[in-house]
Amino acid sequence: MINFTKKIENKITIIVGMYVLISLPIAFYLHNFLHVFMGWNLILALVPLYASLLFLTLYQKNGQEHLQPIFLLGIFLVWLFFLPNTFYVITDLIHLGNRDFYFQSSFYMPWDYVEDIQNYVALIHIFIGAIISLTAGVISLRNMEQFVVEKFNQTFGYSFVFVVLFLSSIAIYIGRFLRFNSWDVLHPFHLIKTLYLSVDLFFIQFVLLFWIVQAIVYFFFQIILNHKEGDLIG
Q: Which of 151, 186, 188 is nearest to 69 (CA)?
A: 151
- Ordered per-residue pLDDT tens for the chain, 234 residues: 455 556 788 899 999 999 999 999 999 999 988 899 999 999 999 999 999 999 988 887 765 556 677 888 999 999 999 999 999 999 999 988 778 887 777 777 778 888 899 999 999 999 999 999 999 999 999 999 999 999 899 999 999 999 999 999 999 999 999 988 777 777 888 888 999 999 999 999 999 999 999 999 999 988 877 765 444 444
Alpha carbon 225 to its chain's center: 17
Element holding 112 (H helix, E strand): strand 112-113
pTM exceeding 0.85: yes
Q: Give the integer Cα–Cα distance in Å for 178 and 171.
A: 10
Query: By three-state DSSP, how is residue 205 classified?
Result: helix
Residue 34 burial (10 A CB sphere; 0-12, 13-18, 19+)? middle
Half-sphere exposure of residue 77, counting CA atoms within 13 Å on the CB side?
A: 9
| The pLDDT of residue 215 | 96
Q: Could you tell me how many residues make up the chain?
A: 234
User: For 89, left (φ over 0), alpha (ψ -120 to 50), or beta?
Assistant: alpha
139, 150 in Cβ contact below 8 A?
A: no
Q: Which of 165, 174, 179 is nearest to 208 (CA)?
A: 165
Query: By three-state DSSP, how is residue 7 classified?
Result: helix
| The pLDDT of residue 232 | 42
45, 85 in Cβ contact below 8 A?
A: yes
In degrees and rounded to multiples of 5, residue 102 shows phi and psi of: -160, 165
In degrees and rounded to multiples of 5, residue 4 shows phi and psi of: -150, 160
Q: Which of 117, 204, 215 is nearest to 162 (CA)?
A: 215
In degrees and rounded to multiples of 5, residue 108 shows phi and psi of: -95, 0
| The pLDDT of residue 199 | 93
| The pLDDT of residue 233 | 41
Q: What is the DSSP letter of 184?
A: G
